[in-house]
Amino acid sequence: MVLSKTFNSLFHASMNFSIFESVLFTMLFLAAASHSIFLAILLFIKSRKELGLIWLGIMMIPICFWLLNYVLYIDKIILKIPHWYGVTAPILYLIGPLFYFFVRQCYNLSYRLRWYDALHILPFIFILWKWIPVYGWSTELKIDAIHQVYSMQRPSSVMKLFSLNQWPLFTLGYIIATYFILNRKIATSKIKNPRLLWLLRFTLLFAIIFIIRILMPFAFWIVDLNLNEGVIVELTIAMLIVVGIHALGYVVLGRDKILPQYIITLGNGKYATSPLTPKEITLYKNKIIEYLESEERPWLNKNFSFSQLVNLLEIPQHYVSQILNEGLNTNFYDLVNTYRVNEVKKRLHSKDLTNTYTILGIALDCGFGSKSSFNRAFKKVTGETPTMWIQANISN
């Protein structure tokens, strides 16, 4: 029964609750499990082209299994459906990799999975392979194994405690590694991205929860707490997960004004379900202006593209479109061409340049790709053709 001892919780043996306690805990965990599935569906629906939200939605599924496992053991329902025994064990090893994929997709929007990313699910496959023989056991054998879990005694050594914390340790390793990767990304980023900063704080909180999950059994073991009291460990961690899932739910539904919102209603129209707050729109708008007016002046390059601006801001391209439309009342091409036209007008006032270059030459040097695109943009910005403007504004 090695598998049963390494998978099942340390204090399942002491889940002897009153009817009131049993009903209360069952309702809490069922509500949290149901909420996690609700969030998963919502994230899938609202993900659009954001793979990060899809990964987060998938991560809700093993968390749901984890919570359901508490319900089955609290009410001893597991004895009525013994074939559920061990189903959750391999699935828990997906939480760490899925969280890593979620974070990575958030800070690298263009990232696509490579073949070697499959290595992240090897622990899941290994644990599943170990449990496959157990899944084939008879009903009697599984019920006997479940009874052994309920009657499990206090671990005799620290190493035994480590064996009971395999998947939390595995998941914590992923979370900590993700935190340092994300922190390095933020440190090397060209701009202060509030979404990444929030993600860093969320990762830290996630790590703290798992550190508590791992350390509390050791603390109770050191003080020689009996199993009946030790159930507090499992319930405390379960409650943290319940609170975390419900908090995340409010973020997704846009009820929390502190954390970034994935779904909010700022008004009507095409951006009614945008995750960007007015504060974020203003921040990114200022960053765009600062970048365009920097010494680099990227718009002087005729190949300067919308995708380059997206990569600079490190947010999805439809959010950049929203920032330009709502924050600057324009679109990318009109904004860039406005800077180019203003530069052309500035240079046309310089006699040295006009004596050396033709009007078209100046336009091409300012980032326009052709005469027709220059004439069209110039008239849209100034309301006049280049010739008319020169006659009205450039003295002979």
**Contact between residue 72 and residue 146 where contact means Cβ atoms under 8 Å apart:** no
Asked if 301 and 248 sit in the same domain, the reply is: no
Asked if 329 and 208 sit in the same domain, the reply is: no
Asked if residue 272 is part of any domain, the answer here is no
Asked if 244 and 286 sit in the same domain, the reply is: no
Per-residue model confidence (pLDDT) at position 155: 57
For residue 1, pLDDT beyond 50: no
Cα distance between residue 171 and residue 211, in whole Å: 10
Output the six-digit token pair for 280.
């974020």
For residue 263, pLDDT beyond 60: no
CATH code, 364: 1.10.10.60
The pTM is what?
0.67
Asked if 21 and 107 sit in the same domain, the reply is: yes
Domain boundary residue among 193, 220, 253? Answer: 253
Q: In the structure, what pLDDT confidence band is assigned to residue 255 with cuts at 50, 70 and 90?
A: very low
Position with higher pLDDT, 11 vs 32: 32
Output the six-digit token pair for 130.
């170990």
Phi, psi (degrees; rounded to nearest 5) at 192: -85, 105
Q: How many domains is the chain built from?
A: 2
For residue 106, pLDDT beyond 80: no
Domain boundary residue among 253, 286, 315? Answer: 253
Per-residue model confidence (pLDDT) at position 266: 40
Per-residue model confidence (pLDDT) at position 122: 95
Domain boundary residue among 218, 253, 288? Answer: 253
Asked if 320 and 182 sit in the same domain, the reply is: no
Q: What is the mean pLDDT of residues 5-15?
A: 46
**Contact between residue 359 and residue 348 where contact means Cβ atoms under 8 Å apart:** yes
Cα distance between residue 375 and residue 389, in whole Å: 11
Domain limits for position 150: 2-253
Residues 343-384: tens digit of each pLDDT: 988 888 776 555 667 888 888 888 888 888 889 998 888 888
Residues 180-235: tens digit of each pLDDT: 988 888 887 666 666 677 778 888 888 888 888 777 777 766 766 555 455 656 66
CATH code, 157: 1.20.1070
Position with higher pLDDT, 218 vs 310: 310
Q: Which residue has tokens 């090695």?
A: 2
Asked if 144 and 288 sit in the same domain, the reply is: no
Residues 37-54: tens digit of each pLDDT: 887 887 787 766 567 778
Cα distance between residue 325 and residue 380, in whole Å: 17
Per-residue model confidence (pLDDT) at position 250: 58
Among 142-151, 250-259, 301-310, which is the least confidently predicted range? Answer: 250-259
Per-residue model confidence (pLDDT) at position 355: 62
Asked if residue 17 is part of any domain, the answer here is yes
Neighbours of 290 (CB within 10 A): 10
For residue 270, pLDDT beyond 90: no
**Cα dihedral 60/63/67/68 (nearest 10):** 70
Tell me which range, 10-14, 85-89, 187-191, is most confidently predicted by mean pLDDT.
85-89
Asked if 130 and 163 sit in the same domain, the reply is: yes
For residue 123, pLDDT beyond 90: yes
DSSP 324: I
Asked if residue 264 is part of any domain, the answer here is no
3-state secondary structure of 213: helix
DSSP 154: P
Asked if 379 and 329 sit in the same domain, the reply is: yes
Position with higher pLDDT, 9 vs 106: 106
Cα distance between residue 94 and residue 123, in whole Å: 8
Cα distance between residue 42 and residue 57, in whole Å: 8
**Contact between residue 341 and residue 327 where contact means Cβ atoms under 8 Å apart:** no
Burial class (CB in 10 A: 0-12, 13-18, 19+), 124: buried
For residue 307, pLDDT beyond 50: yes
Q: Which amino acid is at 380?
A: K
For residue 5, pLDDT beyond 50: no
Asked if residue 149 is part of any domain, the answer here is yes
Per-residue model confidence (pLDDT) at position 10: 45
Per-residue model confidence (pLDDT) at position 175: 92
Among 50-59, 120-129, 259-268, which is the least confidently predicted range? Answer: 259-268
DSSP code string of 252-297 = HHT--SSS--SS---SSSTTTT----HHHHHHHHHHHHHHHTSTT-
Mean pLDDT of the chain: 77
Q: Using N-to-C axis directions, what is the helix angle for 19-46 and 51-74, rounded to 10°?
A: 170
Asked if 239 and 294 sit in the same domain, the reply is: no
Asked if 82 and 155 sit in the same domain, the reply is: yes
Q: What is the mean pLDDT of residues 57-72?
A: 86
Within 13 Å of residue 255, how many CA atoms lie on the same side as its CB?
Answer: 6
Cα distance between residue 316 and residue 138, in whole Å: 51
Asked if residue 328 is part of any domain, the answer here is yes
Q: In the structure, what pLDDT confidence band is assigned to residue 242 with cuts at 50, 70 and 90?
A: low
Asked if residue 245 is part of any domain, the answer here is yes
Percentage of residues in the chain with pLDDT exceeding 70? 70
Asked if residue 36 is part of any domain, the answer here is yes
Asked if 126 and 34 sit in the same domain, the reply is: yes
Asked if 249 and 286 sit in the same domain, the reply is: no
Cα distance between residue 182 and residue 176, in whole Å: 10
Q: How distant, in Å, are the alpha carbons of 106, 220, 222, 233 from that of 215?
A: 30, 9, 11, 10
**Cα dihedral 203/90/65/213 (nearest 10):** -50
For residue 170, pLDDT beyond 70: yes
Cα distance between residue 348 and residue 392, in whole Å: 12
Asked if residue 387 is part of any domain, the answer here is yes
